[in-house]
Structure 1
Amino acid sequence: MNARHQQIIQLVNMRGSVTVSELAQLTGVSEVTIRQDLNLLERDHFLRRVHGSALALDSDNVGMRMHTRYELKQALASHAAGLIESGETVFIEGGSSNALLARLLADRADITVVTVSHFIAHLLKDAACDVIVPGGLLQKSSQSMVGPLTRHCIQQIHFHKAFIGVDGWQAETGFTGRNMLRCDVVDAVLAKNAPTWALTDASKFGQIHPYPLSPVYQVKQVITDSSLRAETLRLLEEQEVAVTCVAQP
């Protein structure tokens, strides 16, 4: 995938729909080249083509979102990877930044990764690290395990550190998610009281979604990027959330 393909994916994901002619103008290539690009990207399940335009796929498509703001998310994942020490077991919940973290850990034979994400587990199928996938109900849209059995499995597994994805945060609501069952899994992780980080780019702050994370077990550490607004940083710190802002590439 070249830089133009990544630019196209990012534009389509941000806007939901972009015309071929507009993509040609924004990328500086011909409409013929854009149509060829869109054919390739649709074949690889990064977007959907309709007559004269490209459409974003379902927002739960992790593979697609990994290539949106790729360099930034890679920087976040690299910082997170540096926190994991030899001999540790680390829980990685899901989302595009966490998928990039898992990929960075793949060659580390000295750690164990626990994940409810079948997408992440597939990324690690040839990895040197050991991989544990709890049982439960496979939520096909997100490729993640959810439900009471998954919660029970998490309760029986020890891990030293955990990294979770979030969909939104506001001072009044705290961290929120789009999916109730996935939030329930995150709540089970937070209840373990292992050091846990929300690994997310700054675009999620200021958004709000239907399902708040547990009011009892709070996310106390965040790894995000340096575009986080100063006022948001102040509000997070007032709520005793430790924030690490990684410089944007």
Structure 2
Amino acid sequence: MLQAERHQKIIELISKKGSVQVEELATLLNVSLMTIRRDLEKLKQEGRIDRCHGGAIIKKEVPYTEKQTKEIEVKQKIAEGCIRLIHKGNVIYLDAGTTTYEIAKLLKNSTGLTVVTNDIEIARILLSSNVNLILCGGTVQKSTGSMVGAIANQMMENMRVDIAFMGATSIDDQFNVMTPTMDKAVMKYNICKNSKERYLVVDSSKFGKQAFIKINHLSDYTAVITNKAFTRDEIKMLKEMRITIIPVFVD
């Protein structure tokens, strides 16, 4: 069995059971304990799993409070770039996340806008603003402060917006946009499908990593707003795939 096949089997097993032990994987896949340990370490480095004593568990969402403290200056610069794309009368979707939270902070004094979001913290900050605010219903994912599940998905499937500012857990080497859970993947896909313009707002730390579920591809977005410094080979790929990048520079 090739390494890629083994990795896929490991992810499938962990997803079904929640956790697996090294010995269990070695027996099921008919390989050595050392091979399994190397596989798990690689999957951990890719951000697809977390290690636990003697085995591995599925990658969990990073808590909202922890994400808020990371790359804060970059997120603020990305938010400033996003504001220039918004016009009076727009219906805007702000995806759950700390970069979109920075966009919300800049919209507090705006008028003539409608903001739709599935992020409780974004809704909270816009409660005292002049924007028309619509909070997506659903099950509350408490660790991230976002609304998810069938109700949220159904609501967004039937809604149309002018501009969607979307986040992502990771973008792999082929520029696929990834997220840890199926619920979020379905919702994000529906929002992108139902938006006239869609912008992916991500800092450089999100690139070159994997997550469990693919949402879509960078080429599915109007543009990607990021501080990522792409290599020469990556720039060539971006041009071939007709992906537009709006660069953000931080002093």
Deviates more, 1:115-124 or 1:173-182: 173-182
Asked if the contact 1:169/1:176 (under 8 Å) is kept, the reply is yes
Structure 1 residue 172 and structure 2 residue 168: aligned? Answer: no
Distance 1:204 1:237 in 2: 20
SS in 2 for 1:235: helix
1:238 match: 240
1:108 match: 110
Alpha carbons of structure 1 residues 221 and 140: separation in structure 2 relative to 1, 3 Å:
same
- Which consecutive residues of structure 2, in runs of 5 or more, have no partner in the other structure? 1-59
Distance 1:123 1:220 in 2: 27
Q: How far 1:61 moved relative to its partner?
A: 2.6
Matches for 1:70-89 after TM superposition, within 5 Å: 70-89=72-91
Alpha carbons of structure 1 residues 232 and 220: separation in structure 2 relative to 1, 3 Å:
farther
Asked if the contact 2:161/2:195 (under 8 Å) is kept, the reply is no
Distance 1:114 1:108 in 2: 14
Q: 1:156 aligns with which of 152, 155, 158?
A: 158
Asked if the contact 1:171/1:236 (under 8 Å) is kept, the reply is no
Structure 1 residue 97 and structure 2 residue 99: aligned? Answer: yes
SS in 1 for 2:220: coil
Structure 1 residue 221 and structure 2 residue 226: aligned? Answer: no
Distance 1:69 1:106 in 2: 22
Q: How far 1:186 moved relative to its partner?
A: 0.3
2:122 match: 120
Matches for 1:12-23 after TM superposition, within 5 Å: none
- Which consecutive residues of structure 1, in runs of 5 or more, have no partner in the other structure? 1-57
Q: How far 1:89 moved relative to its partner?
A: 0.9
Distance 1:246 1:87 in 2: 26
Distance 1:111 1:101 in 2: 13
Asked if the contact 2:201/2:226 (under 8 Å) is kept, the reply is yes
Q: Deviations over 1:113-136 (max 9, x none)?
A: 100111211121211211101212
Q: How far 1:84 moved relative to its partner?
A: 0.3
Asked if the contact 2:138/2:148 (under 8 Å) is kept, the reply is yes
Matches for 1:31-50 after TM superposition, within 5 Å: none
Q: Deviations over 1:128-174 (max 9, x none)?
A: 21110121222222211112211221133221000110111124361
- Identical-residue share of aligned pairs (%): 23
Distance 1:200 1:209 in 2: 15
SS in 2 for 1:90: strand
Q: 2:68 aligns with which of 66, 69, 75?
A: 66
Deviates more, 1:224-233 or 1:82-91: 224-233
Alpha carbons of structure 1 residues 80 and 184: separation in structure 2 relative to 1, 3 Å:
same
Q: Normalising by structure 2, what TM-score?
A: 0.70
Distance 1:109 1:180 in 2: 35
Q: Deviations over 1:56-88 (max 9, x none)?
A: xx8533343223221111000000011000111
SS in 1 for 2:225: strand
1:26 match: none
SS in 1 for 2:124: helix
Deviates more, 1:144-153 or 1:77-86: 144-153
Asked if the contact 2:64/2:143 (under 8 Å) is kept, the reply is no
Q: Which residue identity lines up with residue 119 of structure 1 in the other structure?
A: E
RMSD of Structure 2 on Structure 1 (CA): 2.0
Alpha carbons of structure 1 residues 229 and 106: separation in structure 2 relative to 1, 3 Å:
farther
- Name segments (4+ residues, structure 1) moved above 6 Å: none
2:7 match: none
Asked if the contact 2:197/2:221 (under 8 Å) is kept, the reply is no
SS in 1 for 2:196: coil
